[in-house]
Amino acid sequence: MALDGYSDQTMSRQAMRAELLDAETELKLAYAWRDQRDERALHRLITAYMRLAISMASKFRRYGAPMPDLIQEASLGLMKAADKFDPDRGVRFSTYAVWWIKASIQDYVMRNWSMVRTGSTSSQKALFFNLRRVQAKLEREASQRGETLDQFQLRQMVATEVGVPLADVEMMEGRLSGSDFSLNATQSSDEDGREWIDALEDDSAGAAEQVELSHDAEALRGWLVTAMQALKPRERFIVAERKLREEPRTLESLGEELGLSKERVRQLEAAAFAKMRRNLESQSREVHHFLL
């Protein structure tokens, strides 16, 4: 059910005008869709329960997601429920659909809450959607007993209540304390102010390290050129085609070009590498830091 171009008020009015299904009609429509893939029956079933989907979507507005997007996700959950519903179980479709609608909305909210993955397990999801409510309940009960809970005690009690590790509670509090901010945002209201990204430590190589890397690379390049020049032309050709091309050639293709068997090309390649290794080792002991 595409919702582009419709306001949540329009969708709500349309849903409220939809027919109310009795149990017998609902059952017939469910059988028609399951057994005959009757799309008209599916459409009636979905349309009749869109008011349920919209009602559940409205309960998640406090998480900051646009209402049309929440309704879209709720409708997707409703369609999943219709596709998986088994009328033989003797359960009303609305009872079955509630779970799918809620799951679809919750997944959407958690995907869009932050660029940082917020929670993946069922217990973490329960913590995400119930943290504030559980905290308020525990504080209210403590107040009735004449107690005052510090933050550490409250986190421990929440962890026990929800059944998650204390670290999960601490992590979730941090994720719910505020939304993500761009690293390109300025640190002050001044347009010319420094961006937050400028305050991050530069993990790239420093000037001294770059000089050392450049020197080492140049030395290695010289050693390799000398070692390649010490090879016979056919060996040098095989090494170049096998190791220096962006897309290395196969032993079989080289064998066809050189008039050799694949095994013979492999032997020549191995012999060339052995020669190069001996040549490199004779040039400098430092080469051992670069050999694979």
Q: With 80 as the cut, is the pLDDT of residue 2 above it?
A: no
Task: Let me know: does 53 contact 75? Beta carbons within 8 Å.
Answer: yes
Q: With 80 as the cut, is the pLDDT of residue 191 above it?
A: no
Q: With 70 as the cut, is the pLDDT of residue 165 above it?
A: yes
Task: Let me know: does 230 contact 279? Beta carbons within 8 Å.
Answer: yes
Beta carbons within 8 Å of 169's beta carbon, 6+ residues apart = 127, 131, 155, 158, 159, 162
| The token pair that represents 132 in the structure block | 């504030």
Average pLDDT over residues 144-148: 87
Buried b (16+ CB within 10 A) or exposed e, 11-45: bbeebeeeeebeeeebbebbebbbeeeeeebbebb
Task: Let me know: does 67 contact 60? Beta carbons within 8 Å.
Answer: no
Q: Which residue has the higher pLDDT, 77 or 107?
A: 77
Looking at residue 248, its pLDDT comes to 86
Looking at residue 189, its pLDDT comes to 56
Residue count (the chain): 292
Which pLDDT band holds residue 116 (cuts at 50, 70, 90)?
A: very low
* Torsion sign, CA atoms 134, 140, 146, 147: positive
Kind plus residue range of the DSSP H or E element containing 193: none
What DSSP string describes 69-100? HHHHHHHHHHHHHHHH--GGG---HHHHHHHH
* Angle subtended at Cα 217 by Cα 216 and Cα 218, rounded to the nearest 5 degrees: 90
Average pLDDT over residues 105-128: 66
Q: Is the pTM of this model over 0.75?
A: no
Looking at residue 130, its pLDDT comes to 73
Which pLDDT band holds residue 1 (cuts at 50, 70, 90)?
A: very low
Average pLDDT over residues 181-204: 54
Tell me: the pLDDT tens digits for 9-63? Answer: 666 677 777 788 899 999 999 999 999 999 999 999 999 999 999 989 988 887 7
Task: Let me know: does 74 contact 35? Beta carbons within 8 Å.
Answer: no
